[in-house]
Amino acid sequence: MHIVVSNPNRVPECEALIASVAVPAAAPHTVEVLSPQWGPRELTGQRETLLSAIGVLDALTTRAATADAIVLAGFGEPGSEAIREALDAPVVDITEAGPMAAMLLGRRYAVVTSTEAAVPVVEDRLHTLGLDTRCSGVLAVGRSVPELMGDHDGAVAVISEYAKRAVTDLRAEVIVLGCGGMSGLDREVAASVGVPVVDPLRAAVGQALVLAAAGWRTSRALAYSAAGQRHISGLPLPS
């Protein structure tokens, strides 16, 4: 089985962090992590987020066409629909996987993400995906991905602080870590907060393994029906 996990940015340390969580979540030699070959280094706003989504689409369609399942490790990033249209393998977006797992553990969940600029991106994406009705809110800790990764203890402390606010002020029953840079911190935050904390990357890999093992593929009935060959010019994408 071959599961490809796509890191949305071009920060090597983030790719390594994602690998440290995703690879142990499956059998040995099952998970491959890749990053786009071009695009923004970090996802700091709407412009970078959209450009990253195109870079991820390029990377997956050219380097992961034979994967048994795909995991998109960018929380709040658009583009999963285009990738589902392009590839037959099931595509699991951590933006969906995290909240879906959370809704099995409690009635309402909250998302704790990185920066204030990420909040509207996450809110809009949850609405588009139909996952917002049981979301108590999206809170930002005010730290970028490199800052979160560069200070483990500080990251756990600040995420725990905002998670506690979500529980007390927003009546959240489950917390979803809404940033790839927070991968692997779920257990420590949960121990501090006292409610379930979902690492969406871990949840997504588990869901991808189930879908791949079952042999399920993306439906071609309507939304993701094959649209035929397109001629694309002016962008570094396959035509």
pLDDT digits over 49-98, tens only?
Answer: 889 999 999 999 998 889 999 999 999 989 999 999 999 999 999 999 99
227: in domain: no
Which amino acid type is present at position 137? Answer: G
pLDDT value at 39 more than 90: no
One domain for residues 151 and 103: yes
232: in domain: no
Question: What is the residue range of 134's domain?
Answer: 95-199
One domain for residues 178 and 108: yes
Q: Which percentage of the chain shows pLDDT scores above 90?
A: 77
CA nearest neighbour of 114 among 159, 167, 165, 63: 159
> How high is the pLDDT of residue 198?
98
User: Quick one: average pLDDT of 15-41?
Assistant: 92
224: in domain: no
Tell me the residue length of the chain. Answer: 239
CA nearest neighbour of 115 among 151, 139, 82: 139
126: in domain: yes
pLDDT value at 105 more than 80: yes
Mean pLDDT in the chain? 92
User: Quick one: average pLDDT of 161-189?
Assistant: 96
Number of domains the chain is built from: 2
One domain for residues 27 and 70: yes
One domain for residues 7 and 27: yes
> How high is the pLDDT of residue 103?
98
One domain for residues 67 and 101: no
One domain for residues 38 and 9: yes
Cα–Cα distance, 129 to 126 (Å, whole number): 5
One domain for residues 102 and 87: no
One domain for residues 90 and 163: no
One domain for residues 171 and 209: no
User: Quick one: average pLDDT of 117-135?
Assistant: 95
Judge whether 145 and 181 are in contact, CB under 8 Å: yes
One domain for residues 90 and 100: no
One domain for residues 90 and 53: yes
Q: Which percentage of the chain shows pLDDT scores above 70?
A: 95
> How high is the pLDDT of residue 45?
79
82: in domain: yes
Question: Is 0.85 topped by the overall pTM?
Answer: yes
Provide CB contacts within 8 A for 101, sequence distance 6+.
Answer: 198, 200, 203
> How high is the pLDDT of residue 237?
54
229: in domain: no
Which amino acid type is present at position 239? Answer: S
> How high is the pLDDT of residue 228?
56
Higher pLDDT, 165 or 239: 165
> How high is the pLDDT of residue 239?
43
Q: For position 189, which CATH number holds?
A: 3.40.50.12500
User: Quick one: average pLDDT of 123-131?
Assistant: 96
One domain for residues 76 and 117: no
118: in domain: yes
Cα–Cα distance, 53 to 34 (Å, whole number): 14
47: in domain: yes
